[in-house]
Amino acid sequence: MSLTGGSMTPVALAFSVLEASDRSSDLALVLAAQSVTMLFFLLIGGAASDRFSRGKVLMISNLCAAASQGMVAALLLGGHYQLGVIIALETVNGMSVAFTMPALRGILPQLVDHESLHRANSILSTSRNATKVLGPTIAGVVVATIGGGWAIAIDAMSFSIAALCMAQLRLATQTVTRSGQSGLVRNVREGWIEFRTRSWVVVVVATFAGCNFILGGVWLVLRPSIANQTIGSAGWGIVLSTRAIGLLAMGLVLYRFSPRYPLRWGQAGAALFTLPMLALGLTMPTVWLASAALLAGAVSFRRRLHSLQAFRG
C-alpha cells in the first residue's frame, strides 16, 4: 500500500509544485529537503530497526508519512502554497522513508526461513516494481484532471492503510545482540564499521553517489519541468510507468536466474540510465522517450543484484 502511494508522489509532487510556483528552483529545494533528510537519518533508521520491533517502526514511520503528505495535500488543495512549509513537511517525509527502508528490508528474515530469502527478496522487488507501473500513470491522470493535491491525498491515505496493516502484523521475537555500552549511537557506529570494512559496498555506494549527484538535477527537476511544457503530467506518468515495466520484467527474470557475478552485471547495467537523458536532451517524441525509459529500467535491477551479492556474502 505504501509503495503504491509512494510511486505516485514523484509525479504528483513535481507537477503540484511547478503548478503552484512555476519555478524549478522551488521543486529542487523541496526534493533536496526530502533526499538530504533521508540520507542523514538512514543510519539511525537502520540502527532503530535492529534495536526495536520492526513492525512498530514500520507502523510509526508510515503514520508520520501519512501525516506529512496529508498536510501537503491540504495546503495544495486549499490554495495556500508556502514553500517553507512544504519543505518542512517533506523533511518529515524524508525522515519517515529513512526509517521505513531498513525496517522493510530487515523484516524479511522474520517472515521466511533462510533458504527462502533469495526468492522472498525477488518477490518483494517484483512487487515494488509492479507498484511503479501503474502508480505514476494514475498520478499523471489525477494531476491532469483534478490536480496534484488529490494525488498526494491518495498517497497519504495509502500510508495510513499501510500503518493499519503493520499494526496487525505479528512477528517472531527479534534477536538483538547487546554488549557493553549498548545504545543507539553504538549501533550506528558498529553499522558504519561493518559498512566501511566491505570494499565492494563502499565502491558501489561511492559510484552511485556520484551518478545521483550528477543526474539527480536532470532526472528529478529539469525533466518534469520540460515535460510540463511538452508532454504534460499524464504523458510523463506514462513514461515513468514504462520505465517501471522494464524493472518488473527484469525482476521476474531474476526470480529464476542467478548470475555468477551479480555485482558486475549490476554495475554494467547502470550505463543504460543515460538513454532517457539523451532522449530528453534531444527532445525526442514521447514514444522514443518511453522506449529509452523502458531500457533504462534495467538499471534498477542492479539493486536486486547487489542484494544477491550481499546474500551470497
- Span 266-283, pLDDT tens digits: 667 667 777 777 777 777
Q: What is the model's pLDDT at position 193?
A: 86
Digit-coded pLDDT (tens) for 88-141? 999 998 898 888 888 877 787 788 887 777 778 777 777 777 777 677 777 777
Digit-coded pLDDT (tens) for 211-267? 777 776 676 667 676 766 666 666 666 776 777 777 667 666 666 666 676 667 666
Which residue type is seen at 165? C
Contacts (Cβ under 8 Å, ≥6 apart) of 21: 27, 81, 83
Rounded Cα distance, 34 and 271, in Å: 26
Rounded Cα distance, 180 and 189, in Å: 14
Task: Encode 265-290: b = buried (16+ Cβ within 10 Å), e = exposed.
Answer: bbbebbebbebbbebbeeeeebeebb
Name the residue among 78, 79, 80, 63 with its Cα closest to residue 1.
63
**Mean pLDDT across 291-311:** 59
Q: How far is CA 294 from the centre of its chain?
A: 18
Domain residue limits, the chain = 2-170+181-312
Name the residue among 16, 29, 243, 32 with its Cα closest to residue 151.
16
Average pLDDT, the chain: 77
Whether residue 17 has pLDDT greater than 50:
yes
**Which three cell numbers, joined as nine digits, stand for 311?**
546474500
**Mean pLDDT across 19-40:** 84
The phi-psi region of residue 304 (left if phi > 0; otherwise alpha if psi is between -120 and 50; otherwise beta) is alpha
Q: What is the model's pLDDT at position 309?
A: 45
CATH match for 2-170+181-312 among 3.30.1330.20, 3.30.470.20, 1.20.1250.20, 3.40.50.960: 1.20.1250.20
**pTM for this predicted structure:** 0.67
Band of the pLDDT at 161, cuts 50, 70, 90? very high
Q: What is the model's pLDDT at position 85?
A: 92
